Amino acid sequence: MDLHITGGEPTEDERAAIDALLGVPESGWEGAARDIARDGRTAAGGHSVAGQRHRLLPALHAVQDRVGWVSRGAMNYICRRLSVPPAEAWGVLTFYHLLARAPRPTAVAHVCDDIACRLRGAEALCQELETRLGPPLAGGSPAATPDMNGAGVSGAVEAAPALRRAGAPAPAAMAWQRSPCLGQCDAGSAALITRAGAMPERFVLAPAADASAIVEALAGSTPAPPRPTVRWTGTPRLLSRVGKVDPASLDGYREQGGYRALARALELGPERVIAEVTASKLLGRGGAAFPTGRKWDAVRRQPATPHYVVCNADESEPGTFKDRVLMEQDPFAVVEAMTICGLATGAAQGFIYIRGEYPLAEARVGSAIAEAREAGLLGADVMGSGQAFDIEVRRGGGAYICGEETALFNSIEGRRGEPRSKPPFPAEVGVFGKPTVANNVETLVNVLAIVLEGGESWARLGTPASTGTRLFCLSGHVERPGLYEVPFGATLRDLIDLAGGVPGGRGVKAVLLGGAAGSFVGPGHLDLPLTFEDARAAGATLGSGVIMVYDETADIADSLHRIAEFFHHESCGQCVPCRVGTQRQLELLPTLAAPSASSAAAAASVFGELSVAMKDASICGLGQTASGAIESALNLGLIERPVKGGE
Amino acid sequence: MSATIDGRPIEARAGATILDACRDAGLDVPTLCYLETLTPVNACRVCVVEVEGARVLAPACSRRIEPGMVVRTRSPRVDLSRKLVLELLGSSVDLSTAPTLEPLMREYGADPGRFGPAPATVRQSPKVDNDLYMRDYSKCVLCYKCVEACGTDAQHTFAIAAAGRGFDAHISTEFDVVLPESACVYCGNCIAVCPTGALMAKHEYDLREAGAWKPEVQTATDTTCPYCGVGCTLTVHVQDRRIVKVTSPLESEVTRGNLCVKGRFGFEYVNKTG
């Protein structure tokens, strides 16, 4: 591509970070300085370079990790290396909120102020941080656009050049910003700490006890990784190894039954593996509840090649942390399950797309992949079968929408995470335009037991229409927030009891089922069996397994405002109903509680129509579900008008 | 293949979209981000229709007709979504130079004023950074047409792309640099496809600003571009015996509406008559 690139060269640090990922360029065609004697008689480029587009997001991450932000010079160099037009790279850079495009301190705390953490005092923590570190960076918000010179977006930013001149990260070289849910809802408070540099550090502080703990983490302390609360009833299938196996040890995994399922799958062969998965009636656990066996079968039958496996680990639904716990505590299970999926569906390459807020999961899955490859469990000859399968980890950039499978494909391909129109469905046209199985982490891990036990036997647990067990993420006002595995059919009350009930013996005001994209149910629904069919009949959804409990003292209006902010922040902006609709929803929300009955009713009528249009006319699930929680709160009477009205 | 649209049995060719089938059957479906010469992006959602058995509405511009499909192009659901889309646009974007949207607003009873006293808008100052055209993103509905025309659907220049996210999503050059610093080659093919006047030739913009833009007295004459041997069809728009704009017909087999900088902007010498 004939690129037109102006305005800046990379610094040595930036160039080194990019070359460390992409290799040193061999000619001017690939981004090195032009040398007519060397480059003048050859042409390297075209598809071999343009085919590297999918490395755009990893390259931007590399610069972000090294320098703390992406300058125009760095972006230009990446564009040259990958043959990407700068305007398109800018479109990608400005899409992901973990990427900064203006100078900022090298150490940044991304502090969760989302719904679950708010119920446990996140706002107070943010106020405390504001006192200690000044106002939050606006850099994480897509609304913040730097001026052309890349000048700062907040007070903390302006300090950065001086600090860089000083050469060392002085204590003041730190800042913070608010973050959507970090998937640490069992901890009650959390901060993602990123420290850019030659040895970049990214880790999560959970719980983030107070502002001092965050400041210490920013200054250099690395806390011990958290140990999750996990419980179950009966025999766990998904959590059996969690907390018992060394996540770094392949031998440990094998001692606890690991890789028996892959061996069995190789005995069975692809058709029978798919038959067992189909017989199990396993439904996808990411939210859409699509039959997994049917998906695998559809991909296996596709004549177009190659096929791909994509594990959707972009778990970003507020209140959800189940996939994180599986990846952090039992990473080999995810790798083994993806391998089974790949061999069954005729794919030789898999991607696991892990959200950027999960550095520990990324590290552990990454090292599990490396160890499995070393042991011949991935690579050209998986377990001596003569079949090839390998997995590449991709890190998300901070975009909830990338959990939508087609947006995720675009993100892997180095494009903006904008969802595609379906049909065509991923089984036919997926990542790189090829047949693709896209499965959630929990869905895949279920396959291990299905292959070992046989689908029909596995399906005996649960209900006829919702087979197996389910992971539920309990958070909010329960004694023991954590991850709970129960057979389908347990009621909401069972789960809340399992989590120790509501603190102080207080009553339940409402429960948010399925996360921000789900809906509220009232105390009248506590005996609702948590199955796909019962939830649907009750007009609710299990979604990604979120059960967020609000006790009778909870401020629901505060949560609703945060949910409206969340969708406003996370809409990709592609289609009108969602782009403008999420903005209008945020504006309309306060008027729903207008003091006069007639103006509140008028607002509710506008909101009702808006909600229908967003559900009916948005491209993807984000816009289609963005108004659901607020609508359910309205229906339940959880949006209260002040008693003394104007009428 | 056979399908039913608005109760009428129709025969559609293989690969036809619902919109194609509707237009073949003489049924009107409104569009905004759609253009015959560009790949459908189905972003505006003005063209949504009801497909029987589907959970949500489908964009007519990109959904392919399937055998036996039952489609309704007007229904209370369809009308409500179209009305809301128009209201959302009308309440956030300056549509004063988007003449095709006004009759639609009336037809669907859209009232953009009902989102409260001060809804957020995309209002901003026009970008005038070169002599050939200006960009007023207050008027941008984010239909992506200009990006497509600049990119793989026509020009392959890639000077502009969608940037930002959510309500802040917008069309931009890299780091929002001025056009002369970007990859822009001033073909003006983005202007040709812009449905709202957000992108406009500087010449037209200046005349409008001066109150001297008079479409009612303009004539349009087709001719052949004098510059090179390709032979592009030009439509020369003349007002008061002066050329005020040059376009090319979408139907032209040679140009499909596209031109180069010379064909589109190189007419000033004709106006210099002494």
Asked if A273 and A391 sit in the same domain, the reply is yes
Nearest CA in chain B to A613: B81
Q: Does A573 touch chain B (CB under 8 A)?
A: yes
Let me know whether A264 and A392 are in one domain: yes
Tokens for A504, please give them.
């102080």
Measured CA to CA, the distance from residue A295 to residue A140 in angstroms comes to: 36
Taking the C-alpha atoms of residue B15 and residue A596, their distance in angstroms, rounded to an integer, is: 54
pLDDT of residue A155: 35
Q: What is the pLDDT of residue A642?
A: 62
| Per-residue confidence (pLDDT) for residue A171, from 0 to 100 | 42
**Between A29 and B142, where is the model more confident?**
B142
Whether residue A583 and residue B141 make contact (CB cut-off 8 A), yes or no, is no
Distance from CA of A521 to the nearest CA of B (A): 23
Looking up tokens 């931007």 gives A60
3-state secondary structure of A144: coil
Local confidence band at A42 (pLDDT 50, 70, 90 cut-offs): confident
Least confident of A165-179, A256-270, B73-87: A165-179
Residue ranges of alpha helices (H) inside A489-640 are 492-498, 532-537, 556-570, 576-588, 597-617, 621-625, 628-635
Residue A384 has pLDDT above 90, yes or no: yes
CATH of the domain at A487: 3.10.20.600
Q: Which residue of B lies nearest to A86 if distances are taken between CA atoms?
A: B174
Total-model pTM: 0.95
Residue A98 lies in a domain: no
CATH code, domain carrying A124: 3.40.30
The amino acid that residue A88 corresponds to is: E
pLDDT digit string, tens, across residues A276-293: 999 999 999 998 899 999
Indicate if the pLDDT at residue A4 is higher than 50.
yes
Cβ(A629)–Cβ(A518) below 8 Å: yes
Residues found in chain A: 647
Interchain CB distance below 8 Å, B81 and A613:
yes
Integer-rounded Cα Rg, in Å, for chain B is: 20
B233 inside 8 A of chain A by CB: no
Burial class (CB in 10 A: 0-12, 13-18, 19+), A415: buried
Last residue of a domain, one of A93, A128, A162: A93
pLDDT computed for residue A236 by the predictor = 94
Cis peptide before A207 (omega within 30 of 0): yes
Q: In B, residues 235-274, which contact A (CB 8 Å cutoff)? A: none
Name B30's Cβ contacts closer than 8 Å, sequence gap at least 6. B46, B47, B82, B104
* Closest in A90, A150, A616 to B172, CB measured: A90
Measured between alpha carbons, how far is A433 from A607 in angstroms, rounded to an integer? Answer: 38
Residue at a domain's end among A551, A580, A600: A551
Contacting residues of B for A4, CB less than 8 Å apart? 157, 159, 182-183
Which has more confidence, A524 or A596?
Answer: A524
What CA dihedral angle connects A591, A596, A599 and A603, to 10 degrees? 40
| Structural domain includes residue A273 | yes
Can you tell me which residue has the tokens 């087999």? B253
Give the C-alpha separation, A82 to A63, whole Å: 15
Name the nearest CA neighbour of A315 among A354, A368, A359.
A354
Who among A423, A568, A617 is closest to B85 (CB)?
A617
Q: How many CB pairs under 8 A join A and B?
A: 188
CA dist B265 and B259 (Å) reads 9
Cα of A535 to nearest chain B Cα, Å: 17
SS3 A195: strand
Q: Which of A142, A576, A581 minimises the CB distance to B44?
A: A576
A424 shares its domain with A350:
yes
Encoded amino acid at B182, one letter: S
Hey, are the CB atoms on A568 and B158 less than 8 Å from each other? no
- Residue A497 within a domain: yes
- Concatenated DSSP letters of chain B: -EEEETTEEEE--TT-BHHHHHHHTT-----SS--TTS-----S-TTEEEETT-SS-EETTTPBP-TT-EEESSSHHHHHHHHHHHHHHHHHS--TT-TTHHHHHHHTT--GGGG-SS--------B--SSSEEE-GGG-----HHHHHHTTTTT-----EEES-GGG-EEE-GGG--GGGSS-----HHHHH-SSSSEEEHHHHHHHHTT---GGG-EEEEEE-SSSTT--EEEEEEETTEEEEEE--TT-TTTTT---HHHHHTTHHHH---
Which of A56, A72, A94 is the best mutation test for B, with the most CBs of B within 10 A? A94
> How many angstroms separate the CA atoms of B224 and A258, rounded?
73
Sort strands A191-195 and A307-313 into parallel, antiparallel or unpaired: unpaired
User: What distances in angstroms separate CA A627 from CA A152, A370, A583, A617, B76, one per listed residue?
Assistant: 34, 42, 11, 13, 20
* Residue in A85, A101, A606 closest to B114 by CB: A606
Q: pLDDT digit string (tens) for A576-598?
A: 999 999 999 999 999 998 888 88
Angle, CA A353 vertex, CA A349 and CA A358 arms, to 5°: 140
Does A370 fall in a domain? yes
What backbone torsions phi and psi does residue B89 show, to the nearest 5 degrees? Answer: -65, -45
Clarify whether residues A155 and A287 are in a common domain: no
List of domains in chain B = 78-115 (no CATH), 124-211 (3.30.70.20)
Report chain A residues whose CB lies below 8 A from the CB of B81: 577, 612-613, 616-617
**Residue A543 located in a structural domain:** yes
Instruction: Give which of A368, A369, A441, A382 is closest to A408, Cα–Cα.
Output: A441
pLDDT (mean) for A130-157: 56
Distance CA A641, CA A639 (A): 7
Q: Can you tell me the mean pLDDT for A213-237?
A: 88
Tens of pLDDT, residues B133-161: 999 999 999 999 999 999 999 999 999 99
pLDDT at position A202 over 50: yes
Question: Do A197 and A254 fall within a single domain?
Answer: no
A274 and A420 belong to one structural domain: yes
Q: From the CA of A85, how many Å to the nearest CA of chain B?
A: 6
Question: Is the same domain home to A375 and A437?
Answer: yes
Interface confidence (ipTM) of the complex = 0.97
What domain count does chain A have? 5
The residues near A89 (Cβ < 8 Å, ≥ 6 apart) are A56, A60, A75, A78, A79, B174
Q: Looking at the structure, do residues A547 and A571 belong to the same domain, yes or no?
A: no
Is A102 part of any domain? no
Q: Is the per-residue pLDDT at A430 higher than 70?
A: yes
What are the chain B neighbours of A85 within 8 Å (beta carbons)?
158-159, 161, 183
> Smallest Cα–Cα separation from A523: which of A481, A492, A555?
A492
**Residues in contact with A296: Cβ distance below 8 Å, sequence separation at least 6, in sequence order:** A274, A277, A278, A341, A344, A345, A437
Q: Which of residues 54-93 of B touch A (CB under 8 A)?
A: 56-57, 59, 62-64, 77, 80-81, 83-85, 88-89, 91-92
Question: In angstroms, rounded to a whole number, what is the distance separating the alpha carbons of residues A186 and A500?
Answer: 13
What pLDDT score does A167 carry?
45
Q: Is A428 exposed, middle or buried (0-12, 13-18, 19+ CB in 10 A)?
A: middle
Closest CA to B193 of B250, B237, B136: B250
Residue A526, helix vs strand vs coil: coil
What is the average pLDDT across A524-545? 95
What is the domain-level CATH number for residue A619?
1.20.1440.230
How wide is the angle at C-alpha B163 spanned by C-alphas B158 and B166, nearest 5°? 145
CA of A419 vs chain B CAs: smallest distance (Å): 10
Average pLDDT of the segment spanning A380-405: 98
Question: Cβ contacts (< 8 Å) between B181 and chain A: which residues?
Answer: 6-7
Residue A626 has pLDDT above 70, yes or no: yes
Cβ contact, residue pair A573, B92, below 8 Å: no
Residue B44: closest CA among B106, B92, B109, B103? B92
Which residues in chain A have their CB less than 8 angstroms from residue B157's CB?
Answer: 4
Which range among A14-18, A28-32, A487-491 shows the weakest confidence by mean pLDDT? A28-32
- pLDDT(A160) > 70: no
**For B208-215, which contacts have Cβ atoms below 8 Å and span 24 or more sequence positions?**
B208/B97, B213/B239, B213/B244, B214/B239, B214/B240
Mutation site, A569, A580, A610, interface B, largest B CB count within 10 A = A580
End-of-domain residue from the set A93, A124, A143: A93
Name the residue in chain A with its Cα closest to that of B45: A617
Domain enclosing residue A286, as ranges? 250-454
Would you state the structure tokens that stand for residue A378, as one six-digit string? 């991935």
HSE (side-chain half, CA atoms, 13 Å) at A551: 16
Percentage of chain A beyond pLDDT 90 is 84
Q: Residue A627 falls within a domain, yes or no?
A: yes
Sign of torsion, CA A180 A182 A185 A190? negative
* Set of chain B residues whose Cβ sits within 8 Å of the Cβ of A576: 43-46, 85, 88-89, 141-142
Mutate to test the interface with B, among A579, A588, A591, A610 (most CBs of B within 10 A): A579
Mean pLDDT of chain B: 96
To the nearest whole angstrom, how far is the Cα of A520 from the nearest Cα of chain B? 22
Q: Are A321 and A289 found together in one domain?
A: yes
Considering chain A, what is the average pLDDT of its residues? 92
- The nearest CA of chain A is from the CA of B11 a distance in Å of 21
Which whole-number Å values give the CA distances from A567 to A356, A515, A578, A609, in the listed order?
Answer: 18, 12, 9, 18
Confidence of residue A366 (pLDDT cuts 50, 70, 90): very high
The span from the CA of B76 to the CA of A59, in Å, is 48
Please name which of B151, B40, B153, B150 lies closest in space to residue B31, comparing C-alpha atoms: B40
Q: Are residues A388 and A522 in the same domain?
A: no
Please indicate, yes or no, if residue A585 is contained in any of the structural domains.
yes
Summarised one tens digit per residue, pLDDT across range A550-583 is 999 999 999 999 999 999 999 999 999 999 999 9
Model pLDDT, residue A141: 40
What's the CATH code of the domain at A447? 3.40.50.11540
Q: What average pLDDT does the segment A493-521 reach?
A: 97
Question: A537: how many CB neighbours lie within 10 A of its CB?
Answer: 11
Residue A169 banded pLDDT, cuts 50, 70, 90: very low
Tell whether A354 and A432 lie within a shared domain: yes
A246-265 average pLDDT score: 98
Q: Which two tokens stand for residue A319?
A: 């209140």
Verify that A520 and A481 share a domain, yes or no.
yes
pLDDT score at A152? 36
Do the Cβ atoms of A91 and B166 come within 8 Å? no
Restricting to B residues 125-164, those with a Cβ less than 8 Å away from any Cβ of A are 141-142, 156-164
Question: B177 touching A, CB under 8 A?
Answer: yes
The answer on pLDDT for A395 being more than 90 is yes
**DSSP string for residues in A623-634:** HHHTTHHHHHHH
Which residue of chain B is at minimal alpha-carbon distance from A588?
A: B115
The two tokens of residue B180 are 């002369």
Q: Is the pLDDT of residue A165 over 80?
A: no
Residue A354: pLDDT band with limits 50, 70, 90 = very high
* E-state strands within A314-363: 347-354
| A-contacting residues in B 97-116 (Cβ below 8 Å) | 114-116
Is the pLDDT assigned to residue A168 strictly greater than 50? no
Angstrom CA distances, A361 to A140, A251, A445, A465, B184, stand at 22, 19, 15, 32, 43
DSSP track, A156-173: HHHTHHHHHHH-S--TT-
Task: Give the phi and the psi of residue A140 in degrees, each rounded to 5.
Answer: -75, -20
Q: Cβ(A309)–Cβ(A338) under 8 Å?
A: yes
Q: Which residue carries 């209006």 as its tokens?
A: A557
